[in-house]
Chains A and B, each alone.
Chain A
């Protein structure tokens, strides 16, 4: 069965304390892996797409990496405004769906 698992469920960081969020997947035929940010009461906001193992993407304090079994979202020197829920999703070579993980709720304390 295709699965997407995110860890940890929740993470509290001090401002400036770098860390990583994990998204592991067990799927047959990965077409792409996607990271989203979701603020309370809002829709998910697209961050990154990764298509192949070894690929990396960066945006401000965020860096996403991909291996054959998992993806990491590295947050360097986070600020309170980085507080949000981060979702990952996968698309498969077969079918037209995205499969979402349940997210990591990140809180950055000033």
Chain B
């Protein structure tokens, strides 16, 4: 039982490049989330999904897009990476709203 799996674990991008981060969960959870974690700022919600085919904006959505075509997968895209997007990105899932979320191991992204 893997839980929440993120790929890749590390990535270096040049400014303007694009990439997609993949999150997969095997717990049959309805809700999935993408967070970024920066020193001194805690975890901030980028986008989230309350079910297959749905997405919604979180606290810091600008510069990111997401898709949830399958219940178990939640993709985070950066169309044109900027140095301000250098961060550690975490995916999480929960059974429903208001219940505990389970996190992946994170993706460390550096934009140069």
One digit per residue, 1 when the CB lies within 8 angstroms of any chain A CB and 0 when it does not, for chain B 22-51 equals: 000000000101010000111111001010
Contact yes or no, A103 B97, CB < 8 A: no
Query: What band does the interface of chain A fall in when counting residues whose beta carbon is under 8 Å from B?
Result: 20 to 34
The verdict on B82 contacting chain A, using a C-beta distance below 8 Å, is: no
| Of A44, A45, A102, most B-chain CB atoms within 10 Å | A44
| In the complex, B99 has a CB within 8 A of chain A | yes
Q: In the complex, A97 Cα to B49 Cα: how many Å?
A: 10
Q: A48-89: which residues lie under 8 A (CB-CB) from chain B? A: 49, 87, 89
A100 on the interface (CB 8 Å rule)? yes
Contact of A96 among B4, B50, B59 (CB under 8 A): B50
> Contact flags (1/0) for A25-60 with B, using CB distance below 8 Å?
000000110101000011111100100000000000
* Complex: chain B residue closest to A101, CB-CB: B42
The reply on B100 being an interface residue by CB < 8 A is yes
Interface pair A43/B104, CB less than 8 Å apart: yes
**A49 close to B100 (CB less than 8 A):** yes
Contact assessment for A102 and B102 in the assembled complex, using a CB-CB cutoff below 8 Å: no
List the B side residues contacting A97 at CB < 8 Å: 45, 48, 58-59
What are 14 residue pairs bridging A and B, where the CB atoms are less than 8 Å apart in the complex?
A: A31-B97, A31-B98, A42-B105, A43-B90, A43-B103, A43-B105, A43-B106, A91-B97, A96-B31, A96-B48, A98-B33, A100-B42, A100-B43, A100-B44
Given A31-B98, A102-B40, 11 more A-B residue pairs with CB atoms under 8 Å apart are A41-B106, A44-B90, A87-B43, A91-B98, A97-B59, A98-B33, A98-B43, A98-B101, A100-B43, A101-B42, A102-B41
